[in-house]
C-alpha cells in the first residue's frame, strides 16, 4: 500500500476538518458517567448528526447505505476524527464495528435492508452475547441452547460481560443448536430482539464504580428463524467473521486516539510540579519514555493502515488484527500507567479534575488486555495463524 495521501484525499481532509470543527463545538458535553439512558441518547444523536452530514459508514458499500469511499479516505477520516476529539462512538460500537460488517458479509438481503440503515442512523443499538460464565477464551464451549419450534428458535441460557446490553435493541447472539455435535459444529449465530419477555438484563458493577456491561438471562426468548445469520450449526464460521472485524478494523479508531492520549500525558506532565522545582516534563528519562511511546504509536498506526488496506482488498479484516489489538492494549495501558504515576497521590483524592480522570483512565485501560480476546489468546492466534507455528 502507498502510505501517502493524494490531492483528493487532502481535499476530503480539509472539508471534513472544517465540518468536524463546527460540529464538535456544537455538541453539548457528554452526560455524567453512569447515566446510561442519557448516554444512549447522546451517542445516537451524534451518530445521526454524522449520518446526516454524510460521514457515517464511510467504508460500507453504497448498496448498504454507506459511502464506499477508498481506504485512504477512511484513514483520513479516522485521523481527523481523533484530531477533533470527536465523541467516542460508544453505544454504537457493536453495531457499526462488527454486527453491521458481519451482516454485510453474511446476512440475507432482508436482514441487511432492515438493520444496516438503522445502525448507520443510530436508530438501533446492538450488543454482543458471545461470552458465558463457562465460555470466554474457549468460546466454542458455550451452552446457551436454542431449540427449533416451527419458524422460531426458543432460547434458554445465560450470557455475561455483554457491553451496554442495558441500552441495546439487538444482540448478536451465539447459541448451541446441536448439543451432540463436536463443540465447534453445533453453534448458530442469531439476531436477538432485546425488547421481549424472557430477556432479563442485569448490569454489573465494575472497578470504576460504573456499569459498562451486563449479565443477560434468556428464559424461553424467541428468535424468528429469519433472524439466523448463516446456516444452522454453521455459526462458528460466522463468529470468526465477527471476531476478525472486532479484533481487526474495530481497533483502528482506538489506535489513532493513542496520539491524543499521549498529547494529554505531555500536557499534564508540563502542568505537574516536580519535587525540587520545575515540572514532571523536565525529567529527561520521562521525556525519553514518551518519545519511545510516540514511536510505538506511529509504528502501530502504520500497521493498522496496512491492515485496513488489506480489508479493502479482500473484504475481510487482515489476520494482523490480532497483533494490532495486542500491541494497542499494551501501549494504552503503558500510557495510562505513566499518566497515573505523573499525577501521583492526587489521583486518589477523588476530586473531579485531571487527577481523577487519570485514575478513571487507568482503571478503564485494564480491560483492554481481556476484552475482545485476552492477550494470551491473541499471542496464540499470532503464533498459529500468522507465523504458522504448531498448536
Ligand X SMILES: Cc1cc2nc3c(=O)[nH]c(=O)nc-3n(C[C@H](O)[C@H](O)[C@H](O)COP(=O)(O)OP(=O)(O)OC[C@H]3O[C@@H](n4cnc5c(N)ncnc54)[C@H](O)[C@@H]3O)c2cc1C
- Residues designated catalytic: 246
Cα-flanking dihedrals φ and ψ of residue 347, to 5°?
-65, -25
Backbone angles phi, psi at 127, to 5 degrees: -130, 175
Residues 6+ apart with CB under 8 A from 177: 146, 147, 148, 153, 186, 187, 188, 232, 233, 235
Question: Which of 213, 236, 286, 301 is in the footprint of ligand X by CB under 6 A?
Answer: 213
Out of 85, 196, 376, 389, the residue judged to bind ligand X by CB under 6 A: 376
Q: Of the candidates 161, 245, 281, 286, which one interacts with ligand X according to CB under 6 A?
A: 161
- Give least dist CB 102 to ligand X, A: 14
CA distances from 358 to 29, 210, 279, 335, 340 (A): 19, 16, 17, 10, 5
> Which CB, 157 or 373, lies closer to ligand X?
373
Residue from 370, 382, 383, 386 in contact with ligand X (CB under 6 A) = 370
- The answer to whether residue 367 forms part of the interface with ligand X (CB under 6 A) is yes
Q: Does 377 bind ligand X (CB under 6 A)?
A: yes
Q: Which is nearer to ligand X, 52 or 384 (CB)?
A: 384
Angle at 185 between CA 179 and CA 191, to 5 degrees: 85
- Does 136 bind ligand X (CB under 6 A)? Our answer is yes
Classify residue 171 as left (phi > 0), alpha (psi -120 to 50) or beta.
Answer: beta
Among 44, 90, 131, 329, interactor with ligand X by CB under 6 A: 131
- Of 371, 382, 383, 386, the one binding ligand X (CB under 6 A) is 371
Minimum separation from the CB atom of position 343 to ligand X (A): 23
CB 209 within 8 A of CB 157: no
Closest CB to ligand X: residue number: 136
- CB atoms near residue 368 (< 10 Å): 21
- Binding segment toward ligand X, per CB under 6 A, in 106-114, 191-199, 331-339, 366-374: 366-374
Single out the residue of 37, 99, 31, 54 nearest to residue 249, CA to CA.
Answer: 99
Nearest distance from residue 381's CB to ligand X, in Å? 10
Of 46-54, 159-167, 184-192, 232-240, the segment contacting ligand X by CB under 6 A is: 159-167
CA-CA distance, 47 to 91, in Å (whole number)?
10
Helix (H), strand (E), coil (C) string for 116-154: HHHHHHCCCCEEEECCECCECCCHHHCCCEEEEECCEEE
Least distance (Å) between residue 135 CB and ligand X: 7
Nearer to ligand X, 41 or 363 (CB): 363
The CA-based angle 333-338-341, given to 5 degrees, is 125
Q: Least separation, in Å, of the C-beta of 374 and ligand X?
A: 3
Q: Are 331 and 293 in contact (CB under 8 A)?
A: yes
Selected from 51, 130, 251, 362, the binder of ligand X by CB under 6 A is 130
Across-strand partners of 153? 148, 223
If the CB atoms of residues 13 and 325 are measured against ligand X, the closer one turns out to be: 325
27 binds ligand X (CB under 6 A): no
Closer Cβ to ligand X, 102 or 367, answer by number: 367
The verdict on 70 binding ligand X (CB under 6 A) reads no
- Of 109-128, which residues contact ligand X (CB under 6 A)? 127-128
Specify the residue, 243 or 268, whose C-beta has the smaller distance to ligand X.
243
For residue 43, the tally of other CB atoms under 10 A from its CB is 23
Binding track, positions 174-203, relative to ligand X; x by CB under 6 A: ------------------------------
Q: How far is the CB of 309 from ligand X (least distance, A)?
A: 27
Which residue in the set 145, 380, 382, 383 belongs to the binding site for ligand X (CB under 6 A)? 380
Give the C-alpha separation, 118 to 125, whole Å: 8
Instruction: Taking the CA atoms of 138, 141, 144 and 149 in sequence, report the sign of the dihedral they define.
Output: positive
To the nearest 10°, report the CA torsion of 359, 364, 365, 370: 150
Dump the DSSP string for 12-39: HHHHHHHHHHHHHHHSPPPPPTT-HHHH
Residues β-bridged to residue 176? 145, 187
In angstroms, give the least distance from the CB of 249 to ligand X.
Answer: 17
Question: Which residues are at the interface with ligand X (CB under 6 A)?
Answer: 127-131, 136-137, 161-163, 213, 367, 370-371, 373-374, 376-377, 380
Amino acid at each position: 500500500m502507498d502510505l501517502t495521501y493524494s490531492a483528493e484525499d487532502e481535499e476530503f481532509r480539509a472539508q471534513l476538518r472544517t465540518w468536524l470543527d463546527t460540529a464538535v463545538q456544537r455538541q453539548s458535553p457528554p452526560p455524567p458517567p453512569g447515566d446510561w439512558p442519557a448516554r444512549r441518547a447522546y451517542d445516537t444523536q451524534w451518530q445521526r448528526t454524522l449520518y446526516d452530514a454524510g460521514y457515517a459508514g464511510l467504508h460500507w458499500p453504497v448498496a448498504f447505505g454507506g459511502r464506499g469511499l477508498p481506504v485512504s479516505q477512511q484513514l483520513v477520516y479516522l485521523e481527523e476524527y481523533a484530531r477533533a476529539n470527536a465523541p467516542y462512538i460508544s453505544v454504537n460500537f457493536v453495531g457499526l464495528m462488527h454486527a453491521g460488517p458481519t451482516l454485510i458479509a453474511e446476512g440475507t438481503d432482508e436482514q441487511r435492508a432492515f438493520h444496516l440503515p438503522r445502525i448507520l442512523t443510530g436508530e438501533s443499538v446492538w450488543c454482543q452475547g458471545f461470552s458465558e460464565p463457562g465460555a470466554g477464551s474457549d468460546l466454542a464451549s458455550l451452552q446457551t441452547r436454542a431449540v427449533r419450534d416451527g419458524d422460531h428458535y426458543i432460547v434458554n441460557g445465560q450470557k455475561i460481560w455483554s457491553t451496554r446490553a442495558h441500552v441495546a435493541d439487538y444482540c448478536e447472539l451465539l447459541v448451541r443448536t446441536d448439543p451432540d455435535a463436536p463443540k465447534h459444529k453445533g453453534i448458530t449465530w442469531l439476531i436477538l430482539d432485546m425488547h421481549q419477555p424472557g430477556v432479563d438484563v442485569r448490569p454489573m458493577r465494575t472497578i470504576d464504580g460504573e456499569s459498562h456491561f451486563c449479565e443477560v438471562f434468556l428464559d424461553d426468548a424467541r428468535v424468528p428463524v429469519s433472524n439466523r445469520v448463516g446456516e444452522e450449526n454453521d455459526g462458528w464460521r460466522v463468529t470468526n467473521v465477527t471476531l476478525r472485524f472486532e479484533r481487526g478494523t474495530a481497533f483502528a479508531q482506538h489506535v489513532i486516539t493513542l496520539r491524543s492520549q499521549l498529547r494529554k500525558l505531555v500536557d499534564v506532565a508540563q502542568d505537574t510540579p516536580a519535587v525540587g522545582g520545575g515540572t514532571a516534563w523536565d525529567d529527561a528519562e520521562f521525556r525519553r519514555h514518551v518519545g519511545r511511546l510516540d514511536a510505538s504509536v506511529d509504528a502501530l498506526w502504520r500497521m493498522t493502515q496496512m491492515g485496513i488496506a488489506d480489508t479493502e482488498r479482500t473484504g475481510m479484516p487482515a489476520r494482523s488484527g490480532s497483533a494490532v489489538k495486542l500491541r494497542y492494549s499494551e501501549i494504552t495501558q503503558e500510557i495510562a500507567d505513566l499518566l497515573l504515576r505523573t499525577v501521583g497521590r492526587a489521583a486518589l483524592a477523588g476530586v473531579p479534575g485531571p487527577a481523577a480522570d487519570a485514575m478513571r483512565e487507568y482503571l478503564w485501560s485494564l480491560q483492554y488486555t481481556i476484552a475482545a480476546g485476552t492477550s494470551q489468546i491473541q499471542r496464540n492466534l499470532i503464533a498459529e495463524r500468522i507465523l504458522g507455528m504448531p498448536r
